[in-house]
Structure 1
Amino acid sequence: MNRRTVLITGTTQGLGRGIALDLASRGHTVLLHGRDSTRLAAVADAVRTAHPDATVRTYRADLADLTQVRELADRVRAGETRLDALVHNAVAGGGADPLRREWSAQGYELRFAVNHLAPYALTRALLPLLTVSAPARVVNIASLGQERIDFDDVMLDEGYEGLRAYCRSKLAMIMATFELATELKGTGVTVNALHPAHLMDTAGVRAYGLMPLTGVEEGVRPTVRLVLDPELADTTGRYFDRFTDARAHEQAYDPEARERLMTLTRALVDGPSASRPVRDS
């Protein structure tokens, strides 16, 4: 079997944990990411207990801090000889108090930072390793929930609500998926996004007060398919609704909007470490 090394962000619970267990059961090396050392060690122990022959390594970082994102990439590049797939699963959901605005370490709106800026920054920092490991795949866990980005108010300073911020950040992730896929054509690195399942039974769904409709395992299967399926080896720049090649929000197909987003994204990721004041309101 072609054993692959896969980095999965946000593995300490829910979908990320399920993806790690599935890939480990197939004999692949799983690199587990989490922001809490205790919980990260616990999920690593759970994977090893379930699959004693699995190769498991852990990487801790808070993706709400772009400095830690860069340090995470440095550690992965230093510790791994190859990286066959990168699954961006870590997420900031709508929140238990959706009217409470939260900020990243750099002063950006938290959901935009964790769900869009961090995956973009981590992917770019790991591209050298992904490219030398090609064929390699980047899988972005997006959402059916998408809302048009207002470029005059990207951080939702007006009319803030956690789910709205989440939906905008997931559309940003999809738009960046399309842009990066175009940039990487011919390198052997593919980039795709998917909505894994509707209202899975996760802590984030329950925290927002929504009723889960499906189990986590329903989201594991379409995600692992994008990581492993040989029939998708050349598929890139696509958005999937579970197993179906689907159409995302219309703004994702607007070249001008994508260009504006990527110009902003590069400025935020590469710019000063505190370009906005950190507030708690």
Structure 2
Amino acid sequence: MNRRTTLITGATQGLGRGIALDLAARGGTLLLHGRDQARLDAVAAEVRAAAPDTEVRTYLADLSDLDQVHAMAAQVRAAEPRLDVLVNNAVAGGGAEPLRRELSRQGHELRFAVNHLAPYALTRGLLPLLTASAPARVVNVASIGQEAVDFDDVMLERGYEGLRAYCRSKLALITATFELAAELDGTGVTVNALHPAHLMDTDGVRAYGLTPLVGIDEGVRPTVRLATDPDLASTTGRYFDRFTDSRAHEQAYDAEARRRLMELTHRLIGRSGPES
């Protein structure tokens, strides 16, 4: 583990910060992403203080803007000699005003954009680096909260509610996990998704008005396991409920739904291949 380079999105608070501090103690290089420079600098300083031998570099990008997602992928490809693990952790939760429908920079429903389009676009943009560094891993932080995507109203223009949008976006992320894992089979790059823990003590959970049930550490452990456990080196295309290999929502296994989602996803991110 100590020579690995790991990129964590959404590393400035909550689960992302917890993952960063855990991995820092294991050595190697950490690439921390955030959308606020001051908070990014603060968590980088905290990680360096906790683990002085760990290299830390930061990347600033707003993942609700696909142009910034593509630019960040290009920056990482240009600056980093290798990438062993990508943890797609950044999230838009149900929101403090769940009936207010928000849009991304490109005009897509915000949760779908941040929780699905951004991690997929970032992963595709980093595939050249990941495959060159293989064996490598992609860990997508999803949720046990999953709801089928309505292909007649993907952007939830009717009956909008933030938690519903969140659950649909997380199922889209899991579905894309399965598709990408199948595509990358044999390359040495694994792709898995997980539900880290139920109602962790995060700003997002509190903002929606829910009462946290467990601490951040409960979600850190299963996420770090997917990123580091040697026994999972060849495990790919799976969804874990914490530590348990589990079955996701049925739509994730529907071939036609998967085809439609990926066709739409490629069109919306404006990219179609790992080399772009």
Give me the TM-score of the superposition, normalised by structure 1.
Answer: 0.95
Partner residue, 2:115: 115
Residue 118 of structure 1 and its aligned partner are, at CA, apart by 0.2
Residue 54 of structure 1 and its aligned partner are, at CA, apart by 1.4
CA deviations 1:196-253 (Å, max 9, x no partner) are 0000000000000000000000000000000000000000000000000000001011
Residue 28 of structure 1 and its aligned partner are, at CA, apart by 2.4
Partner SS for 1:256: helix
- Amino acid of the residue matched to residue 43 of structure 1? V
Partner residue, 1:176: 176
Partner residue, 1:144: 144
- Amino acid of the residue matched to residue 166 of structure 1? Y
- Amino acid of the residue matched to residue 218 of structure 2? E
Partner residue, 2:165: 165
Hey, what's the Cα distance between the residues in 2 that align with 1:5 and 1:120?
19
Residue 22 of structure 1 and its aligned partner are, at CA, apart by 0.5
Hey, what's the Cα distance between the residues in 2 that align with 1:145 and 1:23?
26
Alignment of 1:82-101 (within 5 A): 82-101=82-101
Residue 101 of structure 1 and its aligned partner are, at CA, apart by 0.7
Hey, what's the Cα distance between the residues in 1 that align with 2:71 and 2:101?
26
CA RMSD of aligned residues (A): 0.8
- Mapped pair 1:251 → 2:240: no
Partner residue, 1:80: 80
Hey, what's the Cα distance between the residues in 1 that align with 2:30 and 2:115?
21
- Mapped pair 1:127 → 2:127: yes
Partner residue, 1:36: 36
Hey, what's the Cα distance between the residues in 2 that align with 1:270 and 1:214?
39
CA deviations 1:49-100 (Å, max 9, x no partner) are 1111211000000000000001100110111000000000000000000000
Partner SS for 1:265: helix
Hey, what's the Cα distance between the residues in 1 that align with 2:2 and 2:213?
35
Hey, what's the Cα distance between the residues in 2 that align with 1:7 and 1:217?
19
Residue 3 of structure 1 and its aligned partner are, at CA, apart by 1.9
Partner residue, 2:274: none
Give me the TM-score of the superposition, normalised by structure 2.
Answer: 0.97
The runs of 4+ residues in structure 1 deviating greater than 6 Å are none
Partner SS for 2:168: helix
Partner SS for 2:67: helix
Partner residue, 2:237: 237
CA deviations 1:152-172 (Å, max 9, x no partner) are 000000000000000000000
Partner residue, 1:276: none
Aligned residues: 271
Residue 2 of structure 1 and its aligned partner are, at CA, apart by 4.5
- Amino acid of the residue matched to residue 132 of structure 2? V
- Amino acid of the residue matched to residue 134 of structure 2? A
2:9–2:34 CA contact under 8 A, matched in 1: yes
Partner SS for 2:128: helix
- Mapped pair 1:156 → 2:173: no
Hey, what's the Cα distance between the residues in 1 that align with 2:80 and 2:3?
14
- Amino acid of the residue matched to residue 258 of structure 1? R
- Amino acid of the residue matched to residue 38 of structure 2? T
Hey, what's the Cα distance between the residues in 2 that align with 1:176 and 1:185?
14
Partner SS for 1:139: strand
2:222–2:242 CA contact under 8 A, matched in 1: yes
In the alignment, structure 2 segments of 5+ residues that lack a partner are: 272-276
- Amino acid of the residue matched to residue 264 of structure 1? L
Partner residue, 2:62: 62
Hey, what's the Cα distance between the residues in 2 that align with 1:264 and 1:74?
23
- Amino acid of the residue matched to residue 156 of structure 1? L
In the alignment, structure 1 segments of 5+ residues that lack a partner are: 272-281
- Amino acid of the residue matched to residue 119 of structure 2? P
- Amino acid of the residue matched to residue 52 of structure 2? P
Hey, what's the Cα distance between the residues in 2 that align with 1:248 and 1:3?
33
Q: How many percent of aligned residue pairs carry the same amino acid?
A: 78
Partner residue, 2:104: 104
